[in-house]
Chain A
């Protein structure tokens, strides 16, 4: 089927037997909720669709519906995600596995509706699993996988699937879909972890009049810390679950994305490499092929799971690389480079031999990154590999300065 990224997301949600969708429109996510509304209006899904009056209420309604036992989905971007910020922490802290598609978009000011990763990078510490798709096909596949990952009783965490605003959300691509019945079976019914209530009963973790439970309590100095630490266990389990689901899904569809966490391209013998999230990896792979023809040992490491951050996988993938450029579609004013760069360089620090790592901030506010721009990054790191000299650790690509 020919679909853009947003439509691919909506179609995946349609096939996953979602109980409640609560959402609020925002560009470039809007097509998702529009398309899904059509499914509802035409009776193609059995879903309670709640058109909330804000993103804050959208996330709240998803969280509350999820706490009641429902499978829930929402979509957002940019300012909408920022408005949800408070509730993202509450959702992960309440261990409710909401799935959310983010059509990644710049944050104001100045106002800009185009793609970058500022919005979801600002939610790095919110306790959500974060997966980034490279194309519309992966957007479709990742949404399906997200329900299976987040709802795993040993994970019980919400999942963001990021798709690059406009580049993926609005661009028509070929997307292979799986039959409804196959997916229903693959995703299955939502399962609930068993917990012990105040009455001493072991029951499924949800609001149920037959088994009263206090959810979202007030935990003070004596308990709060343990609650937060348990979220880290959920993330550790997600690290494994993402890989398992990637394998299971490959059997079903013939498609897989690296090991689910990272997607390396021609890295085995690479001397230079670029690390990136999302759709930019597609262009970079073409450039790598060109460079390889020119006899340059270049590679790409696409990080698919930004949370949980696959530290060991990244270490291993980059172990023979001399120079790494990490490309960030967000920035941290006043910091040493941006989010992905920070994480990658941090992961490599413990290595006895480690590559030189530089940062390229690019594409903010939807600024186009042409193959020529991207090639320049490779050329820069070739030079660094040759000379061992780093002129600037943090660089801005495609910017008038």
Chain B
């Protein structure tokens, strides 16, 4: 990573032409699509993007139209990291052999939570171990939204999805969300971070840092999905903000394994009274509606407990400077 941090203003971002362009077919209130646009604001030169199958792949590439102003490749669902591996390997050798122009080309792989934490995990882990120079961005909307809102291992405890429906006996998903960033950190890669689009400047900065790393980098972006969450499309950014304020999704970065909270989460760590109860984030989301009944109140408590537990662990890790 370069030692000098990239500085930019809101004007720089506003005037930089969009590389993920308008005209795509995402739903109203879709946060992942905002994430895509913001990611592409952070590019620093020639860039190739590859995407796993999913909402964000289909909305921008319906033939004969495209929203992508950069070279873009989709091949399948479980292999975005393997796509990136192949692209990076090709660039490396073809530059060396003089078959293409000798210039650096950044490679970004994008996948949803299914394409990252479930079906895409093997290819992702392999690519991280091999050390290919690319940035993997997970846009996490906590479920298989493209296929009709099914549970993934990134779906949080208590959420009702079409394959973990809130029924009379089972109150939605019973299992905790898979901690993907911990798994990525265990690969000992140079840069791992979390972000969410409400804090757009933080997100863009982290994308740039991930690109600047020589080797693999991983960015976990939390991205509300009003269709899947059965939430008000107008409130996607509000939920993005609340996820940080309630510590449901703290934002941080780890450079060479040294973990540090990013400002919005750091503020809460310094002033714990600012930490909002998870209820503030959960209420209003249809997927958690069933939890606000007397018989399911224990699940609300469980969500608060596990959120607190993960937050405390994170604080300890940040304090010790360890992963």
Contact = CB atoms under 8 A, between A and B. Distances in A.
Q: Do A and B come from one complex?
A: yes
Interface of A: 19-20, 22, 46-48, 50-54, 56-57, 60-70, 72, 86-87, 90, 94, 189, 198, 207-220, 223
Interface of B: 46-48, 50, 57-58, 61-66, 68-76, 78-79, 81-87, 89-94, 96-97, 99-101, 105, 122-123, 125-127, 129-130
Nearest to A56: B79
Given A56-B78, A198-B64, A220-B63, A68 B123 contact: no
Given A53-B126, A54-B126, A208-B71, A218 B91 contact: no
A212 B68 contact: yes
A60 B125 contact: no
A282 B61 CA distance: 50
A289 B86 CA distance: 50
B73 A216 contact: yes
B72 A68 contact: no
B68 A63 contact: no
A61 B92 CA distance: 13
A19 B97 contact: yes
B71 A213 contact: yes
A220 B82 contact: no
A66 B122 CA distance: 22
Contacts of A70: 89-90, 93-94
B78 to A, nearest CB: 7
Contact of A65 (B70, B81, B87, B100): B87
A19 B79 contact: no
Nearest to B72: A214
A208 to B, nearest CB: 6
Contact of B62 (A53, A69, A217): A217
Contacts of A72: 86, 90
Contact of A60 (B48, B57, B64, B86): B86
Contacts, number: 165
Query: Which of A52, A57, A219 has the most chain B CB within a 10 Å cutoff?
Result: A57
A215 B85 CA distance: 16
24 contacts: A19-B97, A20-B90, A46-B93, A53-B125, A57-B122, A57-B126, A60-B76, A64-B84, A64-B86, A64-B87, A70-B89, A72-B90, A90-B76, A94-B75, A198-B65, A198-B66, A207-B73, A209-B46, A209-B48, A212-B68, A213-B72, A216-B61, A218-B63, A223-B63
Contact of A48 (B63, B68, B89): B89
B93 A60 contact: no
Given A19-B90, A68-B86, A209-B47, A218 B76 contact: no
Contacts of A218: 57-58, 61-63, 74
A53 B127 CA distance: 8
Given A60-B86, A216-B75, A218-B58, A69 B100 contact: yes
B99 A69 contact: yes
A48 B61 contact: no
A63 B75 contact: yes
B87 A207 contact: yes
B72 A215 contact: yes
Contacts of A90: 75-76
A63 B86 contact: yes
Given A90-B75, A223-B64, A19 B99 contact: yes
Given A56-B78, A87-B76, A209-B71, A22 B126 contact: no
A61 B85 contact: yes
Q: Which among A51, A72, A213, A214 has the greatest number of chain B C-beta atoms within 10 A?
A: A214
B154 to A, nearest CB: 21
Given A53-B129, A212-B70, A212-B72, A46 B86 contact: no
Given A68-B91, A69-B100, A209-B48, A217 B85 contact: no
Contacts of B66: 198, 214, 217
A217 B63 contact: yes
A46 B94 contact: no
B104 to A, nearest CB: 10
A50 B85 contact: yes
B86 A50 contact: yes
Given A50-B86, A56-B82, 4 more contacts: A57-B123, A68-B86, A212-B69, A217-B62
Contacts of B99: 19, 69, 189
B211 to A, nearest CB: 14
B48 to A, nearest CB: 5
B231 to A, nearest CB: 26
A241 to B, nearest CB: 23
